[in-house]
Amino acid sequence: MKVLIIQQKMIGDVLATSIMFEAIKHTYPTAELHYVINSHTYPVVMNNPFIDYFHFFTSEQEKSKFQLYNFAKQLSKEKFDIVIDVYSKLSSKLITFLSRANTKISIDKGRKSFIYNYTFKNKLTANTNAGLAIENRLQLLKPLDLDPLRIVRPKIYLAEKEQHGAKQFLESNGIDLKKPLFMIGVLGSGANKTYPFEYMAKVIDNIVLTTPESQILFNYIPNQEADAQAIFSLCSDFAKKHIYFNILGQNLRDFLGITSHCDALIGNEGGAINMAKALNIPTFTIFSPWIKKEAWNMFDDGQKHVSVHLKDYQPNVYLDTDHPKKLKSRATALYLDFKLAYFENDLETFLKRLH
């Protein structure tokens, strides 16, 4: 059995979809499994033992219909038996159509499509604490006679060499791994997914006050340095002494290696949180007020993995609508209502539970 799974775009999506490979291999160990992803997301699925082949979708192919067509035609030569289109956009539909696979599966987005044999509507309520992002993917495996509630957790596979290298890097930069080490997701993927800077600074102050021996790392990429520096400048002088602002990896695998040595990742919801969970690192997640918490609060248990959302504390704000598209334009105003005071006790309890 030869299977192609298509999941383009974001790192968190690619990581979440990787569970499907493990689920399939458990039942069909000899199946040959292929994965179409954007090239920049490869580090989170590198070394995954359940994925046999990768096919990288580039920005050039995304921009050029001619290159996209050639990419899809090249894939069709593999003669897949099954194609699972998790992305369900124009590019993935073309790949699915040209594959000529007998079984074609995708999400039901409300428009009838002749391309797919099977489509599934996204569930609105999760049956487990895995969350909707996981459960909605696993239900796409029903045509393969797999139980969609046999939950698989996303995993990131680091080599021993990578973990050891990260340990040496941290220690050579003055980090004492016997003391608490926290990675802070100071910035989201965009302004409307980023907790206000002054509020985030107060979160960091609170972490240091609760855990006075803590060592703080900031997670940001080079083009976010000015924003990260702005948050650093808003922290108290006491907290600043605990922040190692310039300890950064050179690439995503370096970040994963560093995070694997942290006691927790705390901050904005996004790819970094999902990666920490896949590394089995405790997380405390601050959700953007316009994002549906139910979709991405994967494996929250109120203990090792905790998440907070404005709706948890001000449900009346969401009585008129909780549809992300309608809330997105109000993100700034909603964020200003989402003060640390709401979840300060939750954060302190989480930190004290770690040690």
CA 296 to chain centroid: 8
pLDDT interval class at 234 (50, 70, 90): very high
Q: What does DSSP say about strands 32-38 and 2-6: parallel, antiparallel, or unpaired?
A: parallel
Q: What is the dihedral of CA 263, 269, 271, 277, to 10 degrees?
A: 40
Listed ranges 57-61, 211-215, 317-321; the one with the highest mean pLDDT? 211-215
pLDDT at 112 over 70: no
pLDDT tens, residue by residue, 312-343: 999 988 877 767 778 888 899 999 999 999 99
> Going along the chain, which residue ranges are E strands?
2-6, 32-38, 53-57, 82-85, 103-107, 118-120, 181-185, 215-218, 243-244, 264-268, 283-286, 305-308
Task: Give the C-alpha separation, 199 to 175, whole Å.
Answer: 26
pLDDT interval class at 351 (50, 70, 90): very high
Q: What is the mean pLDDT of the chain?
A: 94
Q: Would you say 286 and 347 are in contact if contact means Cβ atoms under 8 Å apart?
A: no
Cα–Cα–Cα angle for 11, 185, 189, nearest 5°? 45
Q: What is the pTM of this model?
A: 0.92
Q: Structure tokens of 148?
A: 């969609």
Task: Give the C-alpha separation, 195 to 289, whole Å.
Answer: 9
pLDDT interval class at 296 (50, 70, 90): confident
pLDDT at 230 over 90: yes
**Torsions phi, psi for 175 (to 5 deg):** -85, 130
CA 56 to chain centroid: 19
Q: What is the pLDDT of residue 335?
A: 95
pLDDT tens, residue by residue, 133-180: 999 999 999 999 999 889 999 999 999 999 999 999 999 999 999 999
- Nearest Cα to Cα of residue 304 among 280, 279, 275, 269: 280
Q: Give the list of residues 6+ apart from residue 111 with CB closer than 8 angstroms, or none.
A: none
Q: How many C-alpha atoms does 243 have within 13 Å on its Cβ side?
A: 24
Helical ranges in 212-323 per DSSP H: 225-234, 237-240, 252-259, 271-278, 293-296, 310-313
Q: What is the pLDDT of residue 327?
A: 87
Q: What is the pLDDT of residue 71?
A: 95
Q: What does DSSP say about strands 118-120 and 53-57: parallel, antiparallel, or unpaired?
A: unpaired
Burial letters for 216-244: b for 16+ Cβ neighbours within 10 Å, e otherwise?
bbbbbeeeeeeebeebbebbeeebbebbe
Cα–Cα–Cα angle for 154, 299, 190, nearest 5°? 80
More confident residue, 30 or 250: 30
- As a whole number, mean pLDDT of residues 299-306 equals 95
Q: How many C-alpha atoms does 215 have within 13 Å on its Cβ side?
A: 19
Q: Would you say 25 and 31 are in contact if contact means Cβ atoms under 8 Å apart?
A: yes
- As a whole number, mean pLDDT of residues 261-275 equals 96
Q: Give the list of residues 6+ apart from residue 326 with CB closer than 8 angstroms, or none.
A: none
In whole angstroms, how far apart are CA 142 and each of 88, 174, 178? 17, 51, 46
Q: Give the list of residues 6+ apart from residue 159 with CB closer than 8 angstroms, or none.
A: 47
Helical ranges in 28-119 per DSSP H: 59-63, 65-76, 90-99
CA 218 to chain centroid: 17
Q: What is the pLDDT of residue 34?
A: 98
Task: Give the C-alpha separation, 171 to 257, whole Å.
Answer: 13
pLDDT interval class at 59 (50, 70, 90): confident
Among 26-40, 61-75, 214-228, 308-322, the range scoring the smallest mean pLDDT is 308-322
